[in-house]
């Protein structure tokens, strides 16, 4: 059995090659297409396409039949990253300038819109209907549409929470179920549907994706405060400056004294906060047990994700998905 890392690399190479084959990034206007491919070319793990392909194989399908959808979901993910950077005014993504920082706001918005349109274009034009029935293709398109709606709702909640004094743990979890987990859930379900999954199997795969996605975002929030900046490829503590009400911040504010709460609030959303102030806030948040609390909750979601796969035979593909869940929890960037 090949290692998980080699499987992820192999899957990423296959998806990258497919994207280059089916999306003509040399089209005019050049600036638009260069901007649209900028974040794709900057790397990324391609975890969502990996989930699509593995879930397809897990239920007995041929991963070639799921390749167009796997590539499309990466395009959808990239679209969300471009627009996310605009909303958060982030200057860096994957160690390179963000699209709006390099090409300006108008081109960045249109580049994201272009990728969103390509999501459906690639699936419709490149899924072989002799192997995959039109009904399955329609169901996949429906899943992606629904996931995108939920994703937009989650993203809006994230922005609204920045100006909301009190956010509960349940509100945070609802937000990340949309903002992050919806795309993981759609990836798993679409892979299963393209492989011929039964309704009960598709439901379980969706749950695997959702729980994994929730854990992914919680770990992301932890890394944003604790990771090595060179590994993270963006400034540590940015979430504090942007006023993000992450699970960690929610927990800290609930358990802080009045003086501690004021210290956190004074830094939260303060774009002019110094590195020392950010560091002091992170240390305070950590001392309140908030990072440990978030880590434990992420671990619980990973356990739930792995448990959903128990109905499937113990194959290499199931093992790969279980190992992926562990990787999501243990990752450093």
- State pLDDT tens for residues 184-229: 999 999 999 999 999 999 999 999 999 999 999 999 999 999 987 7
What confidence tier does 1 reach under pLDDT thresholds 50, 70, 90?
Answer: low
| DSSP secondary structure of 161-229 | HTT-S---HHHHHHHHIIIIIHHHHHHHHHHHHHTT--HHHHHHHHHHHHHHHHHHHHHHHHHHHHS-H
Point out which residues pair with 92 in neighbouring strands. Answer: 97
Instruction: Tell me if residue 268 falls in helix, strand or coil.
Output: coil
pLDDT tens digits, 316-333: 999 999 999 999 999 877
pLDDT tens digit string along 3-25?
A: 999 999 999 999 999 999 999 99
The owner of tokens 């549409």 is 145
> Per-residue pLDDT averaged across 91-95, rounded?
89
Q: Is the pLDDT of residue 297 over 70?
A: yes
Over residues 150-169, the mean pLDDT reads: 93
Q: Say what the pLDDT of residue 206 is.
A: 98
What are the chain's domains?
A: 4-313 (1.10.600.10)
β-strands 92-93, 96-97: how paired? antiparallel
The lowest-confidence range among 39-43, 64-68, 234-238, 303-307 is: 234-238
Q: What is the pLDDT of residues 249-265, one digit of tens each?
A: 999 999 999 999 999 99
What residues contact 134, with CB distance under 8 A and at least 6 apart? Answer: none
Average pLDDT along the chain: 94
Q: Please report the pLDDT score of residue 165 as a whole number.
A: 79
How far is residue 284's CA from residue 293's CA, in Å, rounded to a whole number?
14
* pLDDT of amino acid 88: 86
Select from 220, 189, 216 the least CA-distant residue to 73: 189
Q: Report the alpha-carbon distance of residue 242 to residue 221 in Å, rounded.
A: 13
- Please indicate whether residue 88 or residue 170 has the higher confidence score (pLDDT): 170
pTM recorded for the entire structure = 0.94
CA distances from 298 to 32, 83, 137, 303 (A): 38, 26, 33, 9
* Band of pLDDT at residue 230, cut at 50, 70 and 90: confident
Question: Could you tell me if 157 and 175 are in contact, meaning their C-beta atoms sit under 8 angstroms apart?
Answer: yes
pLDDT on residue 293: 98
pLDDT of residue 130 exceeding 80: no
Task: Report pLDDT digits (tens) over 215-226.
Answer: 999 999 999 999
pLDDT higher than threshold 90 for residue 271: no
> Which tokens sit at 11?
């899957």
- Total residue length of the chain: 333
32-91 confidence digits (pLDDT tens):
999 999 999 999 999 999 999 999 999 999 999 999 999 999 999 999 999 999 998 889
Question: Would you list the DSSP string of 73-136?
Answer: HHHHHHHHHHHHHHHHT-SEETTEE-HHHHH-HHHHHHHHHHHHHHHHHHHHHHS-TTTS-HHH
Burial (CB count <10 Å: 0-12, 13-18, 19+), residue 19: buried
Residue 2 has pLDDT above 90, yes or no: no
- So what's the pLDDT on residue 238? 85
| CB-CB contact of 198 with 62 (8 Å) | no
């Amino acid at each position: 059995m090949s290692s998980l890392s080699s499987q992820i690399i192999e899957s990423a190479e296959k998806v990258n090659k497919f994207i280059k084959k089916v999306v003509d990034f040399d089209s005019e206007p050049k600036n638009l297409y260069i901007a649209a491919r900028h974040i794709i070319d900057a790397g990324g793990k391609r975890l969502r396409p990996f989930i699509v392909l593995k879930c397809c194989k897990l239920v007995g399908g041929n991963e070639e039949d799921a390749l167009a959808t796997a590539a499309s979901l990466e395009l959808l993910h990239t679209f969300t990253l471009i627009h996310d950077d605009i909303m958060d005014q982030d200057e860096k993504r994957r160690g390179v300038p963000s699209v709006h920082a390099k090409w300006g706001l108008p081109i960045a918005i249109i580049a994201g819109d272009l990728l969103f349109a390509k999501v459906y274009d690639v699936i419709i034009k490149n899924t072989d209907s002799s192997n995959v029935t039109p009904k399955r293709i329609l169901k996949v398109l429906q899943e992606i549409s629904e996931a995108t709606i939920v994703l937009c709702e989650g993203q809006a909640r994230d922005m609204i929470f920045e100006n909301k004094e009190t956010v509960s743990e349940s509100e945070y979890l609802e937000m990340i179920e949309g903002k992050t987990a919806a795309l993981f859930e759609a990836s798993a379900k679409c892979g299963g549907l393209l492989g011929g999954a039964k309704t009960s199997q598709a439901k379980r795969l969706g749950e695997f994706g959702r729980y994994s996605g929730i854990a992914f975002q919680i770990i992301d929030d932890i890394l944003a405060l604790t990771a090595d900046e060179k590994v993270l490829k963006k400034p540590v503590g940015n979430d504090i400056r942007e006023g993000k009400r992450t699970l960690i911040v929610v927990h800290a504010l609930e358990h802080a004294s009045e003086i501690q709460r004021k210290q956190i609030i004074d830094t939260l959303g303060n774009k002019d906060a110094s590195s020392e102030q950010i560091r002091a806030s992170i240390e305070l948040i950590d001392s309140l047990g908030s990072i440990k609390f978030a880590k434990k909750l992420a671990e619980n979601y990973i356990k739930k994700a792995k448990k959903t796969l128990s109905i499937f035979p113990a194959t290499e593909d199931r093992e790969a998905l279980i190992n992926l869940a562990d990787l999501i929890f243990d990752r450093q960037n």
